[in-house]
Structure 1
Amino acid sequence: MRNMFRRNSTKLGQHLSKCIFYVGMGSNDYLNNYFMPGFYSTGSDYNPKTYAALLLQDYCRLINKMYELGARKVAVVGVGQIGCIPYELARLDNDGKSAGKSASRCNEKINKAISVFNAGLLQMVKKFNREMPCAKLVYVNTYQSSQDLVMNAVSYGFEETERGCCGVGRNNGQMTCMPLQVPCGRRRNYLFWDAFHPTEVANEIYAMKAYNSTSLSDVYPINIRQLALA
């Protein structure tokens, strides 16, 4: 089949136009760059609005290139609440008075910067849908979904939303899960698996929201199921 597509660009384009491409970028640009002042100067070189604009420029170039290669259905995933993951909670001062710490449990300085990026990402999706013939991009609002899981943790079956199931130090977030380390006994009750990543059950909820939700605050302008049928 691969050789057939190489010889027939029309069939290749038809095949790619039916595929759904899942694109999620930006998390590590904030987690492992912008908010790591001990290693990178980007946090002082750029304000949140300027930094988000630079990331979105690269994002636009990528989507344009994918479109040129034949992609027509793309799920674009927003960045979640990085300020609420165990790793970032572990970095806050013990007394909760670290810079950016509000009355909430999260580092809102980080979350506000991410919200600027996500807002631009949504506008990018709207722009491509208007201007690209036959393009169908869907914005998956992981930030909104992660807020929902925390605010309604009990209804989703989560008992622990701040600690990782497996990790080291405060909130099990100062170091991620180590080899041979014994994880928590009831991982389905945890929102986070380690210092950074959601548990399997949390990811299942995120996936079902993206696939089935009829709320525009979860997925815009349609959900993944509708995108598959489009």
Structure 2
Amino acid sequence: MWRVSAIFFFLVIVGSNLVNGEPKVPCYFIFGDSLSDAGNNNPLNTMAKANYSPYGVDFPGKVPTGRFTNGRTIADFITQFLDFQEFINPYTPQMGQDVYRGVNFASGASGILPNTGSHLGDRIWMDQQLQNYNKTISKLQSMVSSPVSSYLNKCLYTVNIGSNDYINNYFMPEHYPSSDRFTTDKYATLLTTRYKAQLQALYDSGARKIAVFGLGQIGCTPAEMTMNNSTQCVKKINQAVQLFNTKLVSLVDDFNANLPGTPFTFINLYAMQALNPLPPGFITDPTCCKLRSDFMCEPLSPPCNHRNFYGFMDGFHPTEVLNEIAATIAFNTPLPLLFVHPMSIRQLIN
């Protein structure tokens, strides 16, 4: 479960007041899955969309935008910590001047592998997100006077993907053969090898400030605990996730040792979820909405009250308060190497 001590509630208060001037970077590009999706799945033919209430009940304007939470995502909070006055928009081929300040390419149910999440319908997996990114930087090239790579190397990139490669692939044998074909270690290697090429493509485009998010404790989500008939975190899932995270840290170290500029940092969501017990009154196991059979919120169902005391909006996705905590630790942590490796996002952009 998500656990956090008093120091990190203090950090959230500090992080919430970071907006005070011009943006700290010229642009911010966001890649990932439903933890970062800001509406890219809305027009797709998929079950993986959140453009209906009660999602968005605490978002500015109190409208569902396609974000899989009651309010802001981790990427939204980072956007605010960077001092942008508006959130980063989802990708569309018709984007105009907004591309100057970045684009959100993230897509719910997507993964590192192309077949991940396919049983849910359409989604924009990582390779396709990179294709959309390449179209975007081609447009940018015609808008900036210098080489586009010179512009991009000042921008922040966050990549938060891989959860669905376990939730909606490896641990769903009724739809995918992955667990029959690969041990958990071999599967983690398969994911890391493909991910390495995808992250290298970002670097080759000019990206030099790339924060790579590790996977959280997927086995502790209400959905996985329910599906495994358990009242405790599902150990086999968390162990598999940790194999991937360990390989991802090694990948980041390898990139930083061999690519100029120490361009990568690793954000340890798993470690953030393994802190001291939550304060009294914080609720983690129940979800904040009535669930459908796929553990998404039932459309138009009323959200829970006291949402700042709930860990999960639905069966898989954290509430805004936990997104804020994670974003604040990632951006401004005083504890490098435990939660970030080798540096915080604030250090990365500086």
Q: Indicate the TM-score class for this superposition, using the shorter chain for normalisation.
A: 0.7 to 0.9
Give the alignment partner of residue 86 of structure 1, picking from 197, 222, 226.
222
User: Structure 1 regions of 5+ residues with no counterpart?
Assistant: 97-103
**Contact 2:295 2:316 survives alignment (8 Å):** no
- SS of corresponding position for 1:167: coil
Paired residue for 1:152?
A: 277
Measure how far apart 1:167 and its partner are. Answer: 2.9
The answer as to 2:251 corresponding to 1:128 is no
1:161 matches 2:257: no
Deviation of 1:124 (Å): 0.4
Kept in 2: contact 1:91–1:174 (CA 8 A): no
Please list every run of at least 4 consecutive aligned residues from structure 1 whose deviation after the TM superposition is greater than 2 angstroms: 1-11
Output the CA distance in 1 between the equivalents of 2:273 and 2:140.
43
Q: Supply the distance in 2 between the matched residues of 1:56 and 1:141 (Cα, whole angstroms).
A: 16
Output the CA distance in 1 between the equivalents of 2:202 and 2:298: 37
In 1: Cα distance, 2:195 partner to 2:149 partner? 22
| Equivalences for residues 1-230 of structure 1 within 5 A | 5-6=141-142, 10-93=146-229, 96=230, 105-148=232-275, 151-154=276-279, 159-168=282-291, 175-215=295-335, 216-229=337-350
Aligned to 1:100: none
Deviations 1:111-167 (A, max 9, x none): 00000000000000000000001242110000111222xx4211xx66211121113
Alpha-carbon displacement from aligned partner over 1:52-101 (angstroms, at most 9, x marks no partner): 000001111011111111111100000100000010111122xx4xxxxx
Instruction: Tell me the percent identity.
Output: 38
TM-score by length of 2: 0.58
What is the root-mean-square deviation in Å for CA atoms of aligned residues?
A: 2.1
Matched length: 213
Larger relative contact order (Cα-Cα within 8 Å, sequence gap ≥ 6)? 2
Kept in 1, the 8 Å contact 2:289–2:297? The answer is: yes
Higher helix share: 1
* Inter-CA distance 189–56: structure 2 relative to 1 (3 Å threshold): same
